[in-house]
Amino acid sequence: MTELTNKRCVPCEGGVPALDAAACAALMPQLQPRWTLAGDSRALAATFEFKNYYHTTAFVNAVIYVAHREDHHPDVNFGYKTCEVRYWTHAVGGLTENDFICAAKIDALMG
């Protein structure tokens, strides 16, 4: 667990700048290495692999639960054995601390 897992997302309706590349790089060590900065540091993405569809969909449901609890929603794409999760804060067109908080909570799901 990291400091991020103990935080809660705060509503973001825009009006604040997205995190710059340096701020994103400073938060990355609190996440598992599977997470990468994508889109010129405007998104945070990870791919998760599972042994079958049942485990994949259970994980997807857990991600949805985190999204609901934090009121911060990722793009989720999944298939039989894989799930890609991509966070970015639409209201600012880039990353905020909320994205990193949710990514850390998803890491905690994986143990």
The full set of domains in the chain, from first to last, is 40-111 (3.30.1360.20)
> DSSP for 48-92?
EE-SSHHHHHHHHHHHHHHHHHHT---EEEE-SSEEEEEE-BTTT
Q: pLDDT per residue over 8-31, tens digit each?
A: 999 887 788 999 999 999 999 999
Which tokens hold the place of 51? 């042994």
Question: 46 and 36 in contact (C-beta within 8 Å)?
Answer: yes
Interval 33-67: pLDDT, tens: 999 999 888 999 999 999 999 999 999 999 999 99
Give yes or no for residue 90 having a pLDDT over 70: yes
